Amino acid sequence: MFKKIAVPAILVACAYSAQADLIVNGSFENTPALSNGSWGTFDSIQGWTAESTGTEYNPIEVGQGGVYGVTGFDGNNIAELNSYGRSRISQTISGLSAGEELNMSFLAGYRQDPNTSLHTNSIEVLWNGNAVQTFNPTSSVMSLESLHLTAVAGDNKLSFQSVGDESSYGGIIDNVKMQAVPEPAPFAALGLGFGFLGLARRRRA
């Protein structure tokens, strides 16, 4: 007669190590008090810095999501990428290894306003100063977008910028996240699991 022994769930969990979010303040909730109670502009906030797009400089605009006519955002605040004109916001991620594989995701939305159009809502993602992909949100319901990135050794910079018309009404981003791609499970952990399975085949005394 054989006794069934369940394999502990922790052995399954060992298959992948937990991956921490590398982005600081990805939902823009840690922002100074908004100047007029609903939105404000800043040269920097926790984790993020405003930078020149190469042709102009404009500050980071953060506001309450409902002010911009979007839904599906995380928490209360969002960032708009055309504060007083085309703007770029950046965050540096330190301590990465050369060739490290990363998954980056964010929510993107189309600002509902008579002054916006597809041409004002374009969002470009840059990685270490190089344009990676342009997103063109078409809905005020924010949607999840994702990219696969490869790190260089040390500091790496993630940037979002407006590449649409200069109208001060731009694309919306929120809930920026980045995780290292998990490594495969160590064979040792899997071997331990097989050991537990073997116990199930022992005959009762």
Q: Return the closest-CA partner of residue 109 out of 98, 120, 93.
A: 120
What are the phi and psi torsion angles at 30 (to 5°)?
-90, 80
Q: How confident is the model at residue 18 (pLDDT cuts 50, 70, 90)?
A: low
pLDDT in tens, 151-187: 999 999 999 999 876 768 889 999 999 999 987 765 4
Cα angle at 135 between 131 and 137, to 5 degrees?
A: 160
Mean pLDDT of 17-37: 87
Instruction: Give the span between the Cα atoms of 73 and 175, in whole angstroms.
Output: 7
Query: What is the topology classification, in CATH, of domain 19-182?
Result: Jelly Rolls (2.60.120)
What is residue 11's three-state secondary structure? helix
Helices (H) and strands (E) in the chain, counts: 2, 12
pTM of the model: 0.80
Q: 44 is written with which tokens?
A: 């920097």
CA 190 to each of CA 15, 175, 180, 193, 201: distance values in angstroms, whole numbers, following the listed order: 8, 35, 22, 5, 18
Query: DSSP strand E in 31-116: where?
Result: 39-42, 44-45, 48-51, 60-64, 77-80, 88-96, 101-109
Q: How confident is the model at residue 117 (pLDDT cuts 50, 70, 90)?
A: low
- Residue 37, CA atoms < 13 Å, CB-side half-sphere: 0
pLDDT in tens, 59-103: 999 999 999 999 999 999 999 999 999 999 999 999 999 999 999
Taking the domains of the chain in order of start, what are their residue ranges?
A: 1-17+185-205, 19-182
Whole-number pLDDT of residue 101 = 98
- Per-residue pLDDT at 14 exceeds 70: no
Pairing of strands 101-109, 123-127: unpaired
Pairing of strands 44-45, 77-80: unpaired
Helix H, strand E, coil C: the string for 154-185 is: EEEEEEEEECCCCCCCCCEEEEEEEEECCCCC
